[in-house]
C-alpha cells in the first residue's frame, strides 16, 4: 500500500499463488495401475482388447513403481498406500517367473522343442541345427505346411525323428508332432476347436509312456476370443494315470486367467519353474524386439524341469522354446 502525491491511497492487491492440483494428478498416476492389479489378481479381463492388454502385465508391474514414487514424493498417504498395494500385487504376480522354483526332480530325461513356423516360412536350416544340437525327444510344430514337412524331411528330420503325427495344412491351421520314439495318435483327446492340435502317446524308454499335445488355440482377436477361451478350457486336466505334456503356441501368457485356470488343473509352466518365465517369445525377427511370452511347455506337476532356453529362428515371428525335463 502506497500514498499518492496528489492524495489518496494506492492499493496493490496481493496475488495468490495458484495451487498445483497435486492430489488429482497423483491419483491420475496411481489409479490405472491399481485397476490393472485388481483385474490381474481377480482375473477380470473380458473381451478381446482387455485380454490382449493383459499380456503387458510385466510392463505394468514395472510402471507401477513410477506411480508409487510419484505418490510418495507428493506425500499423499492414501495414494501411496494404494500404489504400494498395487505394486506389491503386480510384483508378486510377475517376479516369481524370473526366480524359479528349483524343482529338477530325478527321472528319465525328456527333451521337448516347440516352434511356430509362421505358415511354414521358418528357416529349416536353423531348425535342423537346433534339433541336431539339442537332440529333442519330441518336436512340436505349429503353422506347419506340406511344403515345410517336405523341406524338413529333405534336411534330415526324417532320419532323426522318423515317428510323427502330422496335420499339416497350407495355412496357419497346420500342426505336427515329430518324435524319436514310437507314437500312437490320440485323435479323440482334443475337440475340434482352434487350429489343428494333434495329440499322441510317446513310447518313452525306461517306463510309462507320455501323452503329448501340440497346442495352438486361435489368438484372442475380435470374435475369436470366445474360441480362444474354449480351446484353453478344452485341454484335458492332468491325470494321476497318465504323464502329460502340452507344448506350443498358446496365444496366452501366464497373466491370463484362462491360462492360470489350465495350470490349476494339474500343470506347471516349465520356463516359470527355472526362472525363464519372463523371456519373451513373440514377435520375433521384427523391427521391435520380442515383447510377450505366449509359447510355453506345460508339464504334469510330477515332471521335473532342468532347463529351458529360447532361441531365434529366422523366417518366423515366434522364438523356439527348448525344455529339458525329467519324467518319473
By percentage, how much of the chain surpasses pLDDT 90? 87
pLDDT above 80: residue 18: no
Task: Look at residue 319 and tell me if it is in a domain.
Answer: yes
By percentage, how much of the chain surpasses pLDDT 70? 92
Instruction: Identify the residue whose cell numbers are 496475488.
Output: 15
Q: Do 40 and 138 fall into the same domain?
A: no
Q: Do 82 and 116 fall into the same domain?
A: no
End of a domain among 42, 73, 94?
Answer: 94
Helices (H), ranges, the chain: 22-42, 48-53, 57-74, 77-94, 96-99, 124-134, 146-154, 157-160, 224-234, 257-263, 270-273
pLDDT above 70: residue 17: no
Give the three-class secondary structure for 161. coil
Q: Do 187 and 292 fall into the same domain?
A: yes
pLDDT of residue 193: 83
Task: Look at residue 4 and tell me if it is in a domain.
Answer: no
Task: Look at residue 8 and tell me if it is in a domain.
Answer: no
pLDDT above 70: residue 124: yes
In this structure, of 103-117, 135-149, 243-257, 304-318, the range with the lowest mean pLDDT score is 103-117
pLDDT above 60: residue 198: yes
Q: Do 167 and 288 fall into the same domain?
A: yes
pLDDT above 90: residue 293: yes
Q: Do 110 and 244 fall into the same domain?
A: yes
Q: Do 194 and 74 fall into the same domain?
A: no
Domain that holds residue 84: 22-94
Q: Do 189 and 295 fall into the same domain?
A: yes
pLDDT of residue 15: 62
Q: Do 146 and 274 fall into the same domain?
A: yes
Residue 156 is placed in which grid cell? 534330415
d(CA 267, CA 60): 26
End of a domain among 75, 94, 113?
Answer: 94
End of a domain among 32, 66, 94?
Answer: 94
Distances (CA, A) of 153 to 128, 169, 209: 10, 16, 25
Q: Do 199 and 87 fall into the same domain?
A: no
Q: Do 155 and 216 fall into the same domain?
A: yes
**Among candidates 321, 241, 243, 248, which has minimal Cα distance to 281?**
321
pLDDT of residue 194: 82
Across the strands, what pairs with 36? Answer: none
Residue 250 is placed in which grid cell? 498358446
* Stretch 182-195: mean pLDDT: 91
Q: Do 56 and 193 fall into the same domain?
A: no
Residue 227 sits in a domain whose CATH number is 3.60.10.10
* Stretch 110-123: mean pLDDT: 98
Residue 14: CB atoms within 10 A of its CB come to 5
pLDDT above 70: residue 239: yes
pTM of the entire predicted model? 0.91
Task: Look at residue 3 and tell me if it is in a domain.
Answer: no
Total domains present in the chain? 2
pLDDT above 70: residue 12: no
The whole-angstrom distance between residue 232's C-alpha and the CA centroid of its chain comes to 13
pLDDT digits (tens, 9 = 90+) for 127-144: 999 999 999 999 999 999
**Among candidates 269, 215, 213, 274, which has minimal Cα distance to 242?**
213
* Stretch 313-318: mean pLDDT: 98
* Stretch 301-319: mean pLDDT: 97
Residue 64, Cβ density class (10 Å: 0-12 exposed, 13-18 middle, ≥19 buried): buried
Q: Do 59 and 134 fall into the same domain?
A: no
Amino acid at each position: 500500500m502506497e500514498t499518492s502525491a496528489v492524495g489518496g491511497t494506492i492499493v496493490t492487491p496481493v496475488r495468490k499463488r495458484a495451487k498445483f492440483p497435486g492430489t488429482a494428478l497423483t491419483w491420475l498416476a496411481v489409479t490405472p495401475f491399481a485397476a490393472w492389479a485388481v483385474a490381474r489378481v481377480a482375473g477380470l479381463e473380458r473381451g478381446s482388447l482387455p485380454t490382449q492388454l493383459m499380456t503387458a502385465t510385466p510392463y505394468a508391474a514395472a510402471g507401477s513403481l513410477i506411480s508409487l514414487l510419484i505418490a510418495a514424493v507428493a506425500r499423499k498417504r492414501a495414494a501411496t498406500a494404494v500404489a504400494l498395494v498395487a505394486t506389491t500385487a503386480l510384483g508378486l504376480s510377475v517376479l516369481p517367473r524370473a526366480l524359479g522354483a528349483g524343482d529338477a526332480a530325478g527321472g528319465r530325461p525328456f527333451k521337448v522343442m516347440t516352434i511356430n513356423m509362421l505358415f511354414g516360412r521358418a528357416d529349416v536350416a536353423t531348425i535342423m541345427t537346433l534339433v541336431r544340437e539339442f537332440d529333442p525327444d519330441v518336436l512340436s510344430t505349429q503353422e506347419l505346411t506340406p511344403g515345410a514337412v517336405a523341406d524338413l524331411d529333405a534336411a534330415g528330420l526324417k532320419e532323426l525323428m522318423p515317428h510323427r503325427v502330422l496335420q499339416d495344412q497350407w495355412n496357419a491351421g497346420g500342426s505336427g508332432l515329430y518324435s524319436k520314439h514310437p507314437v500312437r495318435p490320440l485323435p479323440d483327446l482334443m475337440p475340434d476347436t482352434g487350429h489343428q492340435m494333434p495329440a499322441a502317446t510317446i513310447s518313452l524308454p525306461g517306463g510309462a509312456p507320455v501323452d503329448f499335445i501340440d497346442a495352438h488355440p486361435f489368438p484372442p482377436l475380435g470374435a475369436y476370443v470366445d474360441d480362444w477361451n474354449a480351446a484353453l478350457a478344452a485341454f484335458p486336466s492332468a491325470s494321476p494315470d497318465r504323464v502329460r505334456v502340452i507344448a506350443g503356441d498358446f496365444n496366452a501368457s501366464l497373466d491370463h486367467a484362462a491360462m492360470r485356470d489350465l495350470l490349476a488343473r494339474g500343470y506347471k509352466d516349465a520356463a516359470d519353474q527355472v526362472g525363464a518365465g519372463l523371456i519373451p517369445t513373440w514377435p520375433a525377427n521384427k523391427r521391435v524386439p520380442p515383447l510377450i511370452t505366449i509359447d510355453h511347455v506345460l508339464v504334469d506337476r510330477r515332471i521335473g524341469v532342468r532347463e529351458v532356453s529360447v532361441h531365434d529362428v529366422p523366417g518366423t515371428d515366434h522364438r523356439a522354446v527348448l525344455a529339458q525335463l525329467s519324467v518319473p
